[in-house]
């Protein structure tokens, strides 16, 4: 059927099935890929928003026939890099763009609002944006961008070319190097990349929580028209596993073995199109023996529990013991004993797990997809295909969020297998339901603390027991216990410690890396237990922590000293007046309420430390090249999934060289070009890779200045690098960089230099713990508003104080804090994955703009000993104190302790009625 409409002011005539969604038509038929899909065509995420006759609509729910005769605007029609719409400009300036996956939809929704309302209020903007999910920013920057645009359009303020936000010490921020591409919809995420002849990969997954695979007949599927191949475990030429990432997990379950969680993969169906892939998946004949399953650690530890592995259901166990605990408790005037329970959480990155694979001209197998360490994935893929790693290339494209989820190499290995067997390009794109079923989750914890203190408020002893639920496969769960213990003790000084953490298999979803890997759950329990103790002692919670904060030189809870500057005292001193001010305001609010009001305001507080840097080599490399035309290229591996690492690395290099960041091009996280920098998890990138980048830039500067010194016949100390020249500070002699590049060629000296950050002399092998004792600290205070009748909780304001060592790009550092806070708010109030029930955004409640508190972010800079310009890791740390601050706020407000996450209205009401929150 012929359909005519106007698209971005141009007339379009199409001959298409009118029932097809506009989303599919605009992406596949018209090639405009700025409009995104994030939720299985269910209208739940808003990433596909377009304007139809200036009204925002979900293009995934809109049949193309419905736009006939209408005017449609997609992100490509809003503005171009040369001619940005004021909204696009404001999004860049205010830091409203992180991964950018939600950005096109956000911009168009905002455009419709501003077309209707001249100067909308904050509440109006929040309400308008409520249908557009953003997992990265925390929404506040988006609101700010809309407010600012409204003022610009009304002539009340001027558009600026650079971000106006100053950082600590007045440092200005740099605009993100990828922001213009993102606000104009030009960024190519994996699903937007076109390769002729691309096949579709679909996965047959076990529908059972625990079952033995008895029979798998792929014959009927192979007869389906359009199905090219069906692969099972026997088609894996190398290792049927995920290597060190998840040592118990097969790529595909072999016949005769068990599938240990719902969604465990059994077969891969490769087809010419999606429809054939669907039909092929349904045609496979598969039989299981369904086995009794269990989800809870208590069930896993029961005497008669089925044992999921020959060594039993306990994956790992870590302990810490020092001091005389009995004596410490004997000396205590108050002891609290409390158990806290956290929930499974799903990352919910707006871009689903997606990988494109193909052979390049060098007959190398290339995989393009969001990841945390391309070289590790390269190794895993090569092992499964029995190839030399050099035959595999992993490329990291712009990535629509990860938060740890995209560390899982499974989608890469599966796609590589499909390319290997067909020789053709293959795309694997999880559905949102698959993402919920099969991607790793945050581990639920059960944590019991026994904490003692003297009447004067000095901590004495601490006993901790942690059981972490790692699900059916390990996904690094064996390392989790170390991080669990780190969070369970925090930056406090104790006389004696007895701590045990266990990682336990169940038939829940595999749990893995998730912003803060293992620390937020135990920190939550600790900070709530400390709050109980402070209340029992009738002490101010901030002063109580100040009195017990770990001195820089002392042995920590873990039994050894910290290896970085701590900064916790500075954090607590900074937040103290903010906490007190909110407490006073809450008291005033409650006094002013009518007698029959059901609303109560309260304030919660939490401190924290977070061990950043994780594991991996202490020697990290980066490289830099001056091209023969004078351009500088930086090569490093610090995957950017929206947190802004590419911008940060460029800024570090520029700062060291003394030139504008725009003069440096970065090639980031591509195994064909960039050195292996180890895993980029645990907020390691800025500190480790940034440190290597700084060293590399220093070497490049030295190379440029010494070469120029020869040419100009003057000492290198008298030369400066500025813009694209080396100039003498004594006279007006100067040389363009391209001339230096040519001179290096003439001298047969490499134009590429390599620099290394090497921390091994500071932390010698054999004398250091398995994980470096590198910490960042922070604290947050949350204002909460509780409806005693309904149990609903709102969080109007959060004040966050974080020591970042040095904010490389202040606007992005703030953005990381704000995004983490909203994620932490989800942890506290609404996010809970229930195996066998939760299938997508429809039944997993994420914070929307309506949940967004006002966030005041204060960055403290206590310089690190080893990081670039004194920087520390930040991205994950800011999530740690949010949930305990909110829960402590609720508990203090209602006079009952909430000990189970999330604090749903049912749990709050249950606590109010019965004193127990397990409603």
Instruction: At 3, give phi and psi (nearest 5°).
Output: -125, 130
Work out how close the CB of 77 gets to ligand FES at its nearest, in angstroms, rounded to a whole number.
20
DSSP letter assigned to residue 10: E
- Between 350 and 466, name the residue whose CB sits nearer to ligand FES: 350
Instruction: Answer left, alpha or beta for residue 836, where phi above 0 means left and psi between -120 and 50 means alpha.
Output: left
- Between 40 and 623, name the residue whose CB sits nearer to ligand FES: 40
Work out how close the CB of 436 gets to ligand FES at its nearest, in angstroms, rounded to a whole number.
17
Q: Burial, 83: exposed, middle or buried (Cβ in 10 Å; 0-12, 13-18, 19+)?
A: exposed
Residues 6+ apart with CB under 8 A from 765: none
What are the contacts of 27-31 at 24+ separation with CB within 8 A? 27/192, 31/194
Q: Which two tokens stand for residue 555?
A: 């042995």
**Closest-CA residue to 356 (of 311, 301, 393):** 393
Sheet arrangement for strand 734-736? 719-722, 725-728, 734-736
Do 205 and 438 meet the contact criterion of CB atoms below 8 Å apart? yes
3, 80, 496, 558, 655 from 327: Cα distances, Å: 82, 70, 9, 19, 53
Work out how close the CB of 641 gets to ligand FES at its nearest, in angstroms, rounded to a whole number.
9
**Closest-CA residue to 874 (of 595, 516, 405, 376):** 516
- Between 263 and 401, name the residue whose CB sits nearer to ligand FES: 401
Residues 6+ apart with CB under 8 A from 851: 794, 795, 822, 825, 826, 829, 830
Q: In whole angstroms, give the CA distance from residue 674 to residue 395.
A: 10
Work out how close the CB of 222 gets to ligand FES at its nearest, in angstroms, rounded to a whole number.
39
- Between 79 and 616, name the residue whose CB sits nearer to ligand FES: 79
- Between 490 and 819, name the residue whose CB sits nearer to ligand FES: 819
Q: In whole angstroms, give the CA distance from residue 677 to residue 618.
A: 10
Residues 6+ apart with CB under 8 A from 89: 149, 159
Work out how close the CB of 191 gets to ligand FES at its nearest, in angstroms, rounded to a whole number.
15
Work out how close the CB of 406 gets to ligand FES at its nearest, in angstroms, rounded to a whole number.
13
Do 524 and 340 meet the contact criterion of CB atoms below 8 Å apart? yes
- Between 43 and 642, name the residue whose CB sits nearer to ligand FES: 642
Work out how close the CB of 189 gets to ligand FES at its nearest, in angstroms, rounded to a whole number.
11
- Between 33 and 202, name the residue whose CB sits nearer to ligand FES: 33
- Between 99 and 530, name the residue whose CB sits nearer to ligand FES: 99
Three-state SS for 522-555 is: HHHHHHHHHHHHHHHCCCCHHHHHHHHECCCCCE
Work out how close the CB of 262 gets to ligand FES at its nearest, in angstroms, rounded to a whole number.
27
Work out how close the CB of 613 gets to ligand FES at its nearest, in angstroms, rounded to a whole number.
24
Work out how close the CB of 401 gets to ligand FES at its nearest, in angstroms, rounded to a whole number.
5
- Between 182 and 545, name the residue whose CB sits nearer to ligand FES: 182
What count of other Cβ atoms lies within 10 Å of the Cβ of residue 684? 26
Work out how close the CB of 859 gets to ligand FES at its nearest, in angstroms, rounded to a whole number.
20
Do 627 and 888 meet the contact criterion of CB atoms below 8 Å apart? no
Instruction: At 118, give phi and psi (nearest 5°).
Output: -75, -50
**Closest-CA residue to 848 (of 864, 830, 866):** 830
Torsion of CA 581, 584, 590, 592, to 10 degrees: -100
- Residue with token string 């590790």: 376
- Per DSSP, the residues of 22-34 read HHHIIIIIS--TT
- Between 92 and 862, name the residue whose CB sits nearer to ligand FES: 92
- Between 32 and 134, name the residue whose CB sits nearer to ligand FES: 134
Work out how close the CB of 137 gets to ligand FES at its nearest, in angstroms, rounded to a whole number.
5
Work out how close the CB of 212 gets to ligand FES at its nearest, in angstroms, rounded to a whole number.
40
Work out how close the CB of 4 gets to ligand FES at its nearest, in angstroms, rounded to a whole number.
34
Work out how close the CB of 133 gets to ligand FES at its nearest, in angstroms, rounded to a whole number.
7
Q: Which two tokens stand for residue 338?
A: 């409390």
Contact residues toward ligand FES (CB under 6 A) are: 98-103, 134-137, 350, 401, 642
Work out how close the CB of 847 gets to ligand FES at its nearest, in angstroms, rounded to a whole number.
12
- Between 133 and 862, name the residue whose CB sits nearer to ligand FES: 133
What are the contacts of 722-725 at 24+ separation with CB within 8 A? 722/658, 722/659, 723/659, 723/660, 723/663, 724/630, 724/659, 724/663
Q: Burial, 771: exposed, middle or buried (Cβ in 10 Å; 0-12, 13-18, 19+)?
A: middle
Residues 18, 23, 25, 28, CA torsion sign? negative
Q: In whole angstroms, give the CA distance from residue 417 to residue 550.
A: 51
Work out how close the CB of 704 gets to ligand FES at its nearest, in angstroms, rounded to a whole number.
37
- Between 134 and 419, name the residue whose CB sits nearer to ligand FES: 134
- Between 135 and 442, name the residue whose CB sits nearer to ligand FES: 135
**Closest-CA residue to 650 (of 638, 641, 662, 637):** 662
- Between 39 and 102, name the residue whose CB sits nearer to ligand FES: 102
Work out how close the CB of 485 gets to ligand FES at its nearest, in angstroms, rounded to a whole number.
32
Instruction: At 391, give phi and psi (nearest 5°).
Output: -85, 0
- Between 140 and 893, name the residue whose CB sits nearer to ligand FES: 140
Q: In whole angstroms, give the CA distance from residue 520 to residue 603.
A: 20
For residues 614-635, b (16+ Cβ closer than 10 Å) or e, as one string? Answer: bbbebebbbbbbbeeebebbbb
Q: Burial, 207: exposed, middle or buried (Cβ in 10 Å; 0-12, 13-18, 19+)?
A: middle
Q: Which two tokens stand for residue 502?
A: 């266990």
- Between 519 and 849, name the residue whose CB sits nearer to ligand FES: 849
- Between 84 and 142, name the residue whose CB sits nearer to ligand FES: 142
What count of other Cβ atoms lies within 10 Å of the Cβ of residue 770? 8
């Amino acid at each position: 059927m012929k359909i005519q409409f106007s698209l971005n002011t141009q007339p379009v005539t199409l001959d298409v099935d009118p029932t097809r969604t506009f989303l599919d038509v605009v992406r596949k038929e018209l090639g405009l890929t700025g409009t995104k899909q994030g939720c299985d065509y269910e209208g739940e995420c808003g990433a596909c928003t377009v304007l139809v006759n200036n009204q925002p609509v979900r293009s995934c729910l809109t049949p193309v026939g419905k736009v006939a005769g209408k005017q449609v605007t997609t992100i490509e029609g809003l503005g171009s890099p040369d001619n940005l719409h004021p909204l696009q400009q404001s999004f860049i300036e205010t830091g409203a763009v992180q991964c950018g996956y939600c950005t096109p939809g956000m911009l168009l929704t905002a455009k419709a609002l501003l077309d209707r309302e001249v100067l909308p209020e904050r509440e109006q903007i929040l309400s308008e944006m409520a249908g557009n999910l953003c997992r990265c920013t925390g929404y506040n920057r988006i609101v700010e961008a809309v407010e600012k645009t409204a003022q610009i359009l009304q002539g009340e303020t001027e558009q600026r070319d650079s971000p106006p936000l100053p950082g600590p010490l007045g440092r200005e921020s740099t605009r993100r190097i990828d922001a213009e591409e993102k606000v104009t919809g030009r960024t190519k995420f994996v699903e937007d990349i076109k390769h002729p002849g691309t096949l579709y990969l679909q996965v047959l997954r076990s529908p059972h929580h625990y079952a033995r695979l008895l029979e798998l007949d792929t014959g009927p599927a192979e007869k389906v028209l359009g199905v090219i191949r069906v692969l099972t475990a026997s088609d894996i030429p190398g290792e049927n596993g995920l290597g060190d990432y998840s040592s118990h997990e097969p790529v595909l379950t072999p016949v005769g073995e068990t599938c240990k969680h719902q969604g465990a993969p059994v077969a891969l169906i490769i087809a010419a199109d999606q429809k054939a892939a669907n039909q092929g998946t349904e045609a496979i004949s598969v039989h299981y023996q369904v086995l009794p399953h269990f989800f809870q650690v208590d069930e896993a530890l029961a005497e008669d529990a089925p044992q999921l592995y020959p060594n039993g259901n306990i994956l790992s166990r870590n302990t810490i013991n020092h001091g005389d605990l009995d004596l410490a408790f004997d000396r205590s005037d108050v002891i609290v004993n409390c158990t806290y329970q956290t929930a499974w959480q799903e990352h919910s990155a707006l871009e689903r797990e997606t990988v494109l694979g193909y052979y390049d001209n060098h007959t190398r197998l290339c995989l393009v997809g969001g990841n945390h360490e391309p070289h590790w994935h390269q190794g895993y893929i090569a092992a499964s295909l029995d190839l030399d790693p050099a035959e595999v290339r992993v490329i990291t494209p712009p990535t629509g969020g990860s938060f740890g989820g995209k560390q899982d190499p499974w989608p890469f290995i599966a796609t590589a297998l499909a390319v290997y067997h067909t020789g053709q390009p293959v795309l694997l794109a999880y559905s949102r339901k698959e993402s919920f079923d099969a991607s790793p989750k945050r581990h639920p914890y059960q944590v019991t603390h026994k904490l003692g203190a003297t009447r004067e408020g000095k901590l004495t002893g601490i006993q901790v027991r942690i059981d972490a639920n790692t699900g059916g496969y390990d996904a690094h769960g064996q390392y989790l216990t170390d991080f669990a213990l780190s969070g369970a003790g925090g930056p406090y000084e104790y006389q004696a410690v007895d701590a045990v953490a266990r990682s336990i298999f169940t038939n829940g979803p595999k749990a893995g890396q998730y912003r803060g890997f293992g620390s937020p759950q135990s920190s939550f329990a600790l900070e709530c237990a400390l709050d109980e103790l402070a209340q029992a002692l009738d002490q101010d919670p901030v002063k109580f922590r100040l009195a017990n904060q770990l001195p820089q030189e002392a042995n920590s809870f873990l039994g050894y000293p910290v290896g970085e500057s701590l900064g916790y005292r500075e954090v607590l001193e900074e937040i103290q007046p903010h906490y007190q001010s909110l407490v006073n305001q809450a008291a005033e609010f409650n006094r002013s309420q009518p007698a029959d009001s059901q609303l109560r305001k309260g304030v919660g507080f939490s401190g924290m430390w977070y061990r950043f840097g994780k594991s991996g080599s202490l020697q990290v490399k980066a490289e830099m090249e001056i091209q023969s035309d004078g351009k500088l290229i930086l090569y490093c591996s610090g995957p950017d999934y929206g947190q802004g690492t590419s911008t940060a690395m460029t800024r570090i290099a520029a700062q060291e060289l003394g030139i504008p960041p725009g003069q440096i091009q970065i090639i980031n996280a591509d195994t064909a070009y960039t050195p292996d920098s180890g895993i980029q998890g645990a907020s390691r990138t800025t500190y480790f890779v940034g440190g290597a980048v700084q060293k590399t830039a220093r070497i490049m500067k030295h190379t440029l200045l010494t070469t120029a010194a020869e040419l100009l016949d003057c000492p290198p100390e008298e030369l400066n690098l500025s813009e694209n020249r080396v100039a003498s500070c004594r006279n007006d002699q100067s040389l363009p960089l391209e001339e230096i590049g040519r001179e290096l060629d003439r001298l047969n000296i490499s134009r590429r230099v390599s620099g290394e950050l090497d921390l091994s002399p500071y932390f010698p092998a054999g004398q250091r713990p398995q994980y470096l004792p590198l910490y960042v600290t922070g604290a947050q205070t949350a204002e909460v508003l509780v409806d005693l009748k309904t149990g609903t909780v709102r969080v109007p304001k959060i004040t966050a104080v974080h020591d970042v060592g040095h904010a490389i790009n202040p606007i992005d550092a703030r953005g990381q804090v704000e995004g983490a806070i909203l994620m932490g708010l989800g942890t506290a109030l609404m996010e809970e994955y229930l195996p066998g029930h939760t299938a997508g955004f429809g039944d997993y409640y994420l914070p929307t703009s309506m949940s967004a508190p006002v966030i005041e972010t204060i960055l403290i800079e206590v310089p690190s000993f080893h990081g670039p310009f004194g920087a520390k890791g930040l991205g994950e740390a800011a999530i740690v104190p949010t949930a305990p601050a909110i829960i402590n706020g609720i508990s203090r407000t209602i006079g009952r302790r909430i000990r189970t996450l999330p604090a749903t209205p049912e749990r709050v009401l249950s606590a109010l009625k019965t004193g127990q929150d397990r409603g």
